[in-house]
Structure 1
Amino acid sequence: MKVLVFHIGADRYGLPLAAVQRVLPLMELKALPLAPDAVAGLMNLHGASVPVIDLCRISGGAAAPQQVDTRILLVDYRAPQGEPHALGLLAEKVQGVQDVDAAALSPSGVAAAPFLGAVAGDAAGLVQLVRLEELLPPPLRALLFQPEGEARGIPS
């Protein structure tokens, strides 16, 4: 299986390549006042507003440093029993595409973070898969992906 490997701090994580639309350079994001810490802001993608989540923050760390190699991963996010949405993921550093042997994956044993999946080892250490569908807790998902009329405070 092909995964896009990125860093949160010193640790490596992977997303199935099929879920990644594009890897974008860091761009200016519109801040969202009173938004939860994990929300880095909104990006303008060809005229569409796309929410961006800071992967460092959503995993409990400090905000991702904004450096030359910081990237935004544009992914197809689909919540359980939900509609697909474009979502940006602010990644501290993207390492690249890597083949992960599905047979070599082992359970992580981490129940505290439901979005963390199986782990695979290689010469560089461990890569832990991110379960994209579990990344956003339901309250954050509801906040970011409201029906269009409700997002403006207008009942639909």
Structure 2
Amino acid sequence: MTTATAVLAEQDIERRHDQNQYLTFVLGRETFALGILSIKEILEYSAPTEIPMMPAFIRGVVNLRGAAVPVVDLCARFGRQSTPVTKKTCVVIIETRVGEESHVIGVVVDAVNEVLEIPHSDIEPAPSFGASIRADFIQGMGKVRGKFVIILDVDRVLCIEEMEMLTQASADSGVVQSAA
């Protein structure tokens, strides 16, 4: 095996290893996970700058090294009540891709737990019913220490097109309400 082939093989093993690693976090009383490959950083919570006429799940924007990054409240995105901000509340900065475009979005979580390696053999398919969030938001159910962790499909949860439609609908209803 040539040196270049060995390096490529090592990179492939490392990439597969990263694909099995998930950042776990808490929302309310449930534990969720996101693949670490989509996570850019974790920030201590500071109140985002609010933007008028946004849907309830968009808390506002934060300044990330000069760039305005939208912040999504995952509880509100899942149709739940927002949980109060505590010392453990964080903003996880995530990069999503839509075709060739990449988008950086922050998500508010109640607390970050740990990075876990969950082998593919320990991931069950998403349930078709009974989940507390939309089934299409769930990539799978990871078995960790005898309990299930909900592995989120980041591209569905933070789907830019869907969030833009909801933002437009929210703006339209604001116009209708103010005209009435």
1:52-72 deviation line (CA, Å, top 9, x unaligned): 000111111111321100000
Deviations 1:82-103 (A, max 9, x none): 5101110111111111111111
1:114-153 to 2 correspondences below 5 Å? 114-123=136-145, 125-137=147-159, 138-141=161-164
Query: Which structure 1 segments of 5+ residues have no match?
Result: 145-156
Give me the whole-angstrom Cα distance separating, in 2, the residues matched to 1:50 and 1:108: 30
Instruction: Indicate if the aligned counterparts of 2:127 and 2:135 stay in contact, CA closer than 8 A.
Output: no
Alignment TM-score, normalising by the size of structure 2: 0.73
Counting only pairs closer than 5 Å after superposition, residues 1-156 of structure 1 correspond to structure 2 as: 1-79=20-98, 81=99, 83-110=101-128, 112-123=134-145, 125-137=147-159, 138-141=161-164
State the alpha-carbon separation in 1 of the partners of residues 109 and 140 from structure 2.
Answer: 19
Q: By percentage of residues, which structure has more helix?
A: 2
More displaced 10-residue stretch of structure 1: 54-63 or 111-120: 111-120
Contact between 1:119 and 1:128, CA under 8 Å: does it hold in 2?
A: yes
Point out 4+ residue stretches in structure 1 off by more than 6 angstroms: none
Aligned residue for 2:12?
Answer: none
Asked whether the 8 Å contact 1:14–1:130 carries over to 2, the reply is yes
Identical amino acids, percent of aligned pairs:
23
User: 1:122 and 1:115 mapped to 2: Cα distance?
Assistant: 20
Rounded Cα–Cα distance in structure 2 between residues aligned with 1:105 and 1:141: 31
- Distance change >3 Å, CA 139–CA 19, structure 1 → 2: closer
AA aligned opposite 1:19: S
Which has more radius of gyration? 2
How many Å apart are 1:124 and its aligned residue?
5.7
> Equivalent residue of 1:114, what SS?
helix
Whole-angstrom CA distance in 2 between matches of 1:96 and 1:67:
18
Matched residue type, 1:96: E
Summarize the Cα distance change of 1:124–1:103 in structure 2 as closer, same or farther, 3 Å threshold.
Answer: closer
Structure 1 position 107, deviation (Å) = 0.7
- Root-mean-square deviation (CA, aligned residues, Å) is 1.8
Return the letter of the residue paired with 1:113.
A
Aligned residues: 143
Gaps of 5+ in 2: 1-19, 168-180
